Amino acid sequence: MTLYDYPGCPFGKKVRIVLAEKELSFDTVIVDLAKGQQRGEEFRRLNPFGKVPVLVDEGSVVYESTIINEYLNDEYPHDPELLPEDSGERARVRLLVDFADRAFTLPSMAIERELAAAERDESKLSMAREAVTKCLTVLERELAGKEFLSEQFSLADVAFAPTLVQLDRLGIVVDGSLPSVQAWRGRLTSRPSIGNLLKLVA
């Protein structure tokens, strides 16, 4: 099994969490996005959209992090099972994964870009931080009375984790006004699969 990835990519980190949860061994090929390697002919044969991550597993080529994670959960059904059995709850988890990717991770990536820019656009930075903060308010409601976003740890928790563990670095504080999110983040970072990501963003 080989994962084509770029170290800073939160979508690649999503896949690495599932690989760790399933205790699957894999090789890594770094695709240097800064050098444009994702646009090269060789990589585009794996993913015509020129994006990481890509997983190659015994002849199966799978791209898009959400689809990769569902593939891993289907192909390696040993514990932990990362999707609920109930079809309605399964759909809810998938909706939360999509929400994480679009409304949480992408604005967080925009914050990172602005913080790294030679000339920051404070307006863009403020808008992106506001978008992430709104997501945290939604998550506070979703987590009320629960340990995880579903009845147990699932792909929904995985989808939020890579960004969640680096919010402080992005200038967003999860404080006492978000007690459910605060406790959830603690539970997530205590899992070895996610806690190890902290070392990568320290």
The residues assigned a catalytic role are: 9
Q: What is the largest CA-CA distance in the chain?
A: 50
CA dihedral 83, 69, 81, 17 (to 10 degrees): -120
Buried b (16+ CB within 10 A) or exposed e, 131-149: bbeebbeebbebbeeeeeb
- The whole-angstrom separation of Cα 42 and Cα 94 is 31
Sort 59 into a burial class: Cβ within 10 Å, 0-12 / 13-18 / 19+.
Answer: exposed
